[in-house]
A and B are shown apart, each in its own frame.
Chain A
Amino acid sequence: MTLASLTRPWRAFSYGFLDASAKREMRRKMIKAVAVPGCQMPYASREVPIARGWGTGGLQVTLTLVNPKSVVKVIDQGADDSVNAASIRRFLTRVSGAGATNDTLAASLIQSRHRIPEEKLRADQILILQVPNPEPLRPVEPNMSAARQMHADADYGRLWLTLYEQIVRSGRVMQGASYPSMVNGRHVMSPSPIPRWDVPKLHMADHLTILSAGREKRIFAVPPHTRVEPLVFDDVPYRVEDHAGLTCARSGLTGYFMNEIPQDGGGSAHEVSDSELGVKAIRRAEGEDPEIGATWYVDGEMQR
C-alpha cells in the first residue's frame, strides 16, 4: 500500500488544495491585515492535511498565494531538510505545480517556522511565518476578551511590566523568542517564536511578512517599509543573542545566528541556523560559485 493509492489524484482537488471560498476568506483577511499592520484579524481557518500546530496557518496562506509560477521555499527552524519542511514543500508543489527551492534568493514564497533567512529578502518576495500563539498579551491577560480591549486601547503597560520583572529578577530581559514588538507605532504583535536576532530583520524591510496562526485562527502582517520596534525601556537597550563571535563548525561562517549542538564530550559546537546559507558557504569553499545575497547581519552587526 502506498500513499498514492490512498489519496485521490491531485486533479480532484481545487487548485492549490483550498476551495475558492476558503481562498477568498484568506485574501480578504490578508488585505485587512496588511491595511492595519500588526493587528490580529480573525479568520475561518480550514482543515488542511497536516495537524493543527504543525503550520496549518502558514500553509493556508501559502496555498492562497501560490501560483504555477511561484517558487516555494519552506524552512523549519532554519533548516530546509527537516521532515516537516520537506513534507510541506512536497505538498505545496504537488497541489499547485509551483517550483521548489532551498535557495532564499530564488524563492518567491518563503514559508518559515521560527526563523527569518539570513540573506535579505527583496520586495518581490513574501515571507509567511507560522505562528503558534499570536496573542502577545496572553501571558499577562488570560481573558482574551479583555486582551482585545487592551489592544484597542493600546494598553500595553503589562508587557513592559513583564520586562521590568525580568530585569528585576535576572538583571536583564530574559525573553528569548516571541519578543513583543510594536508595529507601525500602534499594535504590539508577537512575531512568532523567532529569536531576538531575527526581530530587527522585520523593521523597515523591503518584503511583506504575513504571520498566520491556524489553530488560533488569527492572521496579521508587517507590510514592506513598516516600523517594527521591540518593546524596550528607554535606558535598557534591545540586545540580540550574543552570537556575533561564534563560528559555524561545518561552514566556517561567523557572525550569524547559530544552533548549539551538544557534543559527546560535554561541550558544544555551533552550526549556522540558516542551513542553506551554510550549504552555500561550503559549496563556495569547495570551488563552486553559488550566489550569496547580501545578509541582514555582517560580522554580527545588523546592517541598515
Chain B
Amino acid sequence: MTALAKAMPQLVTAEPLMRFDSLSKRYGPVVALDDVSAHVYPGEVLGIVGESGSGKSTLLRMMNLQESPDAGTYALDLPDLPPNLFDLDRFERRMLCARRIGIVYQNPHQGLLMKNSSSGNVAERLLIAGERRFHVLREKARGALDASEFPLDRMDAPPVELSGGMQQRVQLAKAIALEPALLLLDEPTTGLDVSVQALVLDTLKRLQQDRRMTMVLVSHDLGVIRTMADRVMVMRQGKVVEEGLADQVFQDPQHAYTQQLVHAKL
C-alpha cells in the first residue's frame, strides 16, 4: 500500500482518475519534460511546484490537451475514451476539454471573454456542450457563479469591469459549470493581494470538499500548495525530483532542491 493510501484511504479507489506515463517534450535544445510520470486519484488535489522553467506549465498544458509530448501517454479513467488521449484528434480533444476538464488560468484574459457578461462567459462553456435553452443557460450560469461565491447582482457585468479576484471567480465558475471530472488550476491566485488570495483559496477548498473535485494545482507559491494539496510533486528542469504527501514533503523534504525551496519559503 502506498503512503497516500495509508494516509488517506478514502481517496484511493481501485484506479487513478488520471495517469500520465513517461512524458517527454523538447523545445529545440531545451528539455521541458523528461520522462515524467504521475497519477491522480478521484477527489485528490495534486500540487505541482517548481521554479519558472521547471516544466510545470508544459505539463498542465498537456493535461489540458493543448500540447502533445514527443513521447508518453495520458489517460483519464472515464467512459468512451482511448487509452492514450494524445491519440484524439484536435476536435475530439477540444470537445473533451470543454466537457470534462475545467481550467483556471493565471491570467483571466486567457480564460475569459472580457467584454462579454460574466454569466455569458459561463454560458459559453454550456453552449459548447450543446445547451440551447436560454433559461437553462441562465440558471446554470447563476448556479456556477453562486458556487464560486461571485456576487449574483453583478452576474451580467463584463469581467473587464471586475477586480482580479472577481475575474478569477468567473473563471472558476466557467470551469466548474459542467461539473468536470478534472479541474486544472494554473497559478490561480498569483497577482491577487493576500486577503483576496485567501478568499479564493477558501472557495476552492470548499468546492473541493463539497463536490469531491479532483484538482491539479500548479503554483510556485508553496503556501498555496500547502493549503490546498493532498500530494505534492516537485519539478526541476523538466524532471520530477520529489513526490509525496504534502505534509511529508514540507516537513521532511528529501531532495536537496526541495529542501532549498522549502527553506527559501520559510
Q: Which residues of A contact B (CB under 8 A)?
A: 153, 155, 157-158, 160-161, 164-165, 167-169, 233-236
B27 within 8 A of A: no
How far apart are B173's CB and chain A's nearest CB, in angstroms?
15
Given that A160-B132, A164-B137, A235-B134 are known contacts, is A153 also in contact with B94, CB under 8 Å in the complex? Answer: yes
How far apart are B248's CB and chain A's nearest CB, in angstroms?
44
- Selected contact of B123 from candidates A164, A234, A235, CB within 8 Å: A164
* A233 in contact with B133 (CB, 8 Å): yes
Q: Which residues of B contact A153 (CB under 8 A)?
A: 91, 94
In Å, the complex CA distance between A235 and B123 comes to 15
B124 within 8 A of A: yes
- Selected contact of B120 from candidates A155, A168, A233, A236, CB within 8 Å: A168
Q: Which residues of B contact A165 (CB under 8 A)?
A: 116-117, 120
* A160 in contact with B116 (CB, 8 Å): no
B199 within 8 A of A: no
Given that A164-B134, A233-B134, A236-B134 are known contacts, is A157 also in contact with B128, CB under 8 Å in the complex? Answer: yes
In Å, the complex CA distance between A164 and B139 comes to 13
Which residues of B (98-137) have their CB < 8 Å from a CB of A? 113, 116-117, 119-120, 123-124, 127-128, 132-137
Given that A168-B117, A168-B119 are known contacts, is A157 also in contact with B127, CB under 8 Å in the complex? Answer: yes
Given that A153-B91, A167-B134 are known contacts, is A160 also in contact with B127, CB under 8 Å in the complex? Answer: yes
- 5 smallest CB-CB distances across A and B, nearest first, come from A157-B127, A233-B134, A157-B128, A234-B133, A160-B127
Q: Which residues of B contact A236 (CB under 8 A)?
A: 134
Q: Which residues of A contact B156 (CB under 8 A)?
A: 168-169
Q: Which residues of B contact A160 (CB under 8 A)?
A: 127, 132
* A235 in contact with B124 (CB, 8 Å): no
Give A231's nearest chain B residue, CB to CB. Answer: B132
- Selected contact of B124 from candidates A161, A167, A233, A234, CB within 8 Å: A161
Give A163's nearest chain B residue, CB to CB. Answer: B134
In Å, the complex CA distance between A236 and B128 comes to 18
How far apart are B251's CB and chain A's nearest CB, in angstroms?
47
In Å, the complex CA distance between A67 and B137 comes to 52
Q: Which residues of A contact B94 (CB under 8 A)?
A: 153, 155
Given that A153-B91, A165-B117 are known contacts, is A235 also in contact with B135, CB under 8 Å in the complex? Answer: yes
Interface size on B, residues (CB 8 A): 18
Q: Which residues of B contact A161 (CB under 8 A)?
A: 113, 116, 120, 123-124, 127
How far apart are B126's CB and chain A's nearest CB, in angstroms?
9
16 further A-B pairs in the complex, CB-CB below 8 A; given A155-B128, A165-B116, A234-B132? A155-B94, A157-B128, A160-B127, A161-B116, A161-B123, A161-B124, A164-B123, A164-B137, A165-B120, A169-B117, A169-B156, A233-B137, A234-B133, A235-B134, A235-B135, A236-B134
* CB<8 Å pairs between A and B, sample of 29: A153-B91, A155-B128, A157-B124, A158-B124, A160-B127, A160-B132, A161-B116, A161-B120, A161-B124, A161-B127, A164-B120, A164-B123, A165-B116, A165-B117, A167-B134, A168-B117, A168-B119, A168-B120, A169-B117, A233-B132, A233-B134, A233-B137, A234-B132, A234-B133, A234-B134, A235-B133, A235-B134, A235-B136, A236-B134
Q: Which residues of A contact B132 (CB under 8 A)?
A: 160, 233-234
How far apart are B141's CB and chain A's nearest CB, in angstroms?
9
In Å, the complex CA distance between A276 and B94 comes to 51
Q: Which residues of B contact A155 (CB under 8 A)?
A: 94, 128
Q: Which residues of B contact A167 (CB under 8 A)?
A: 134
Q: Which residues of B contact A233 (CB under 8 A)?
A: 132-134, 137
How far apart are A25's CB and chain B's nearest CB, in angstroms?
31
How far apart are A154's CB and chain B's nearest CB, in angstroms?
9
Q: Which residues of A contact B113 (CB under 8 A)?
A: 161
* Candidate in A160, A164, A234, A236 with the most chain B CB atoms within 10 angstroms: A164
Q: Which residues of A contact B137 (CB under 8 A)?
A: 164, 233
In Å, the complex CA distance between A236 and B113 comes to 24
Give A160's nearest chain B residue, CB to CB. Answer: B127
Give B115's nearest chain A residue, CB to CB. Answer: A165
Per-residue contact bits, chain B 76-110, to A (CB 8 Å; 1 contact, 0 not): 00000000000000010010000000000000000
In Å, the complex CA distance between A235 and B127 comes to 14
How far apart are B204's CB and chain A's nearest CB, in angstroms?
26
How far apart are B108's CB and chain A's nearest CB, in angstroms?
17
In Å, the complex CA distance between A153 and B90 comes to 10
How far apart are B10's CB and chain A's nearest CB, in angstroms?
38
Q: Which residues of B contact A235 (CB under 8 A)?
A: 133-136
How far apart are A177's CB and chain B's nearest CB, in angstroms?
22
Q: Which residues of B contact A234 (CB under 8 A)?
A: 132-134
In Å, the complex CA distance between A155 and B124 comes to 11
Give A236's nearest chain B residue, CB to CB. Answer: B134
Q: Which residues of B contact A168 (CB under 8 A)?
A: 117, 119-120, 156
Give B98's nearest chain A residue, CB to CB. Answer: A157
In Å, the complex CA distance between A168 and B116 comes to 10
In Å, the complex CA distance between A84 and B128 comes to 43
